[in-house]
Amino acid sequence: MTREQALERQRHREELAQREAESRELAKGPIDLPFLILVMLLTGIGLVMVLSASFPSAYYESGNPTYYFARQGVFAIMGIAVMFFIAKINYQRFRGLAKPLLGLTIILLMLVIVPGNPIAITRNDATRWLGVGALQFQPSEVAKAAVVLYFADSISKKKDKMHSFRLGILPYAVILGIIAILMLLEPHLSGTVLILGTGAVMMLVGGINWAWVLAALGIGGIGGYALIGIIGYGSSRIAMWKDPWIDPQGKGYQMVQSLLAIGSGGLLGTGLGKSRQKFLYLPEEHNDFIFAIVCEELGLIGAAVIMLLFAALILRGYWIALHARDRFGSLLAVGVTTLIALQTFLNIGVVTGLLPATGISLPFFSYGGTALSIQLAEMGVVLSVSRQMKPTEKG
């Protein structure tokens, strides 16, 4: 080794040590308080609405009217603890989890569709869960976090190489394609759309050309037309979306009951706890269709306030991404925020009849302990990114 090479390596080590020291110092900064307050508000309101929406079905199914609320509350407490724990960690340490988590995700998604798998759980003609007894979770929830983390880690290292098809498009398209195929075999269309959309946004922010995005949208549109118009997959859902009253006691029943709940709320609502549709009329009233109960009990004004809270959270998340210390942190915040934004839009769109039924939950509100815990952990990642913003940039 020449003297110049030795000096170069020494300078490189010193730069790395300096960056690590700066990173440790910045990681001691305060978390973004507005973002934290919004997360806590949505989680708290969500718990109240789970209690209000679920007590009739909980009493009917288990004899305990607080069954779902108690379970959701335990997972909320666990999730908040995990959120604060993750917020204290330097987010650069998450890089090492990117590849292992992605590999674990693919294995879990494969386990779901293995015929005869004793730990795979089927509900409503879809096999999306793994679990034993009361311990159940959807691998798709892990897939969301894995895609965000892997894409943020990989894209942040490529910079200008993202303009290349071979380096900037193909590897990520292959990963998204594998995950999409595995999830469509469950089938889990809404989760597939959510992950594909988030991956596309992260690639776009990472620097790919808009032309590739437009091409992907075109291919997706052609594929959707082929599935619905030619093969007929999901055609009944499209028909019920256009007019659920053509089969109000059959396939259109849930949508009819949801629209009745929303219409019954009016401007001010029937009052907290006074919904009528939750008394075993509206299916999934404490899960995917909890927003219909929100509209019925809190009215248009209450529902609008909740949507404004979601909008504020999403905008603040993107604000943190814009002010992140580095490319990796910015992509992490963009990915997590996009997940929440797309999931919120899809759920409210389905419940109000704007979109065809897809079976997707409302973040922080819908019953599901694993999903809530993972969402709060993801909020911890954004808070971790916020701690490394310069104090003069916060506001």
Q: Write down the pLDDT at residue 390.
A: 64
Q: Where are the beta strands (DSSP E) in the chain?
A: 120-123, 126-132, 135-137
The amino acid at 338: T
Q: What would the pLDDT profile of 309-322 be if each residue is shown by its tens digit?
A: 999 999 999 999 99
- What is the percent of the chain where pLDDT is above 70? 87
Q: Write down the pLDDT at residue 135.
A: 76
Q: Write down the pLDDT at residue 242.
A: 81
Q: Write down the pLDDT at residue 394.
A: 45
Q: Is the pLDDT of residue 7 over 50?
A: yes
pTM of the model: 0.88
Distance in angstroms (rounded) separating the CA atoms of residues 96 and 88? 17
- For the segment 137-146, the average pLDDT, to the nearest whole number, is 91
Distance in angstroms (rounded) separating the CA atoms of residues 116 and 379? 36
Report which of residues 100 and 22 the model is more confident about: 100
- For the segment 229-233, the average pLDDT, to the nearest whole number, is 52
SS3 175: helix
Q: Write down the pLDDT at residue 19.
A: 56
Q: What would the pLDDT profile of 273-283 be if each residue is shown by its tens digit?
A: 999 999 999 99
Long-range contacts at 321-326 (CB < 8 A, ≥ 24 apart): 321/385, 323/389, 323/393, 323/394, 324/385, 324/388, 324/389, 325/26, 325/385, 325/388, 325/389, 325/390, 326/156
Where does the pLDDT of residue 11 fall: very low under 50, low under 70, confident under 90, or very high at 90 and above?
low
Distance in angstroms (rounded) separating the CA atoms of residues 273 and 296? 10
Q: Write down the pLDDT at residue 251.
A: 86
Lookup: tokens for 215: 């091409």
Q: What would the pLDDT profile of 142-185 be if each residue is shown by its tens digit?
A: 999 999 999 999 999 887 788 788 878 899 999 999 999 999 88
Report which of residues 125 and 347 the model is more confident about: 347
Of the given ranges (40-54, 55-69, 158-172, 179-193), which has the lowest mean pLDDT? 158-172
**In 3D, which of 144, 116, 111 has the Cα closest to residue 128?**
111
Q: Write down the pLDDT at residue 395.
A: 46
Q: Is the pLDDT of residue 226 over 70?
A: no
Report which of residues 78 and 359 the model is more confident about: 78
Measuring CA to CA, how many Å separate 247 from each of 123, 250, 349?
22, 5, 21
Would you list the domain boundaries of the chain? 31-393
- For the segment 3-27, the average pLDDT, to the nearest whole number, is 59
Q: Write down the pLDDT at residue 393.
A: 46
Q: Write down the pLDDT at residue 291.
A: 97
Report which of residues 213 and 66 the model is more confident about: 66
Q: Write down the pLDDT at residue 3.
A: 65
Q: Which helix (H) or strand (E) holds 252?
A: none
Q: Is the pLDDT of residue 330 over 90?
A: yes
Q: Is the pLDDT of residue 327 over 90?
A: yes
Q: Write down the pLDDT at residue 240.
A: 77
